[in-house]
Amino acid sequence: MTESARVVRAPVAGRAVGLAAVPDQVFAQAMVGPGTAIDPARGPGEAVAPVDGRLVKLHPHAFVVVDPAGRGVLVHLGVDTVELRGEGFELLAAEGDEVTAGRPLVRWDPAAVESGGRSPICPVVALDAEPDRLAHLVESGQVVTGDELFTWM
């Protein structure tokens, strides 16, 4: 791995499904960037930082961490969860915080999202990256929080 390569880790535990399985065309067609997605384990849990860096955007349903090289990783907790206006989500950090990979950022319950008629699938996206810049992309199988999802070259 080169010095500028960045390992992006699973922010939640569950089953890797790949972006094509996300029931939202913006993510499924990688319009905001390439990456993968996780169908999270059901029940209350925490979403953690996928990389070391600065938490530049933090909403109850999504966050972006920018690594020291300036690359942003978006984690979206479920699909259409912006419509919940924060209900069922608890922020555990603040925008602007310096975070390390694995630090809990949002507490949420994927089962509650699903019971409300929304998909709890979590896209993990390398913002504005070229698809050929990602390696070792995990798009199937079980993952635990902190597992490598892909390497951003």
Query: What does the alpha-carbon distance between residue 33 and residue 119 come to, in Å, rounded to a whole number?
Result: 20
Structure tokens given for 130:
């070229």
Q: What are the two backbone dihedrals, phi and then psi, of residue 98, each rounded to the nearest 5 degrees?
A: -85, 130
Query: What does the alpha-carbon distance between residue 94 and residue 116 come to, in Å, rounded to a whole number?
Result: 27
Q: Which of 59, 61, 76, 136 is catalytic?
A: 76
Question: 61 an active-site residue?
Answer: no
Query: What does the alpha-carbon distance between residue 153 and residue 146 come to, in Å, rounded to a whole number?
Result: 19
Indicate the pairing of strand 104-108 with strand 90-91: antiparallel
Structure tokens given for 149:
């999802």
Q: Are 38 and 16 in contact (CB under 8 A)?
A: yes
CA 48, 50, 53, 55 torsion: positive or negative?
negative
Active-site amino acid positions: 76
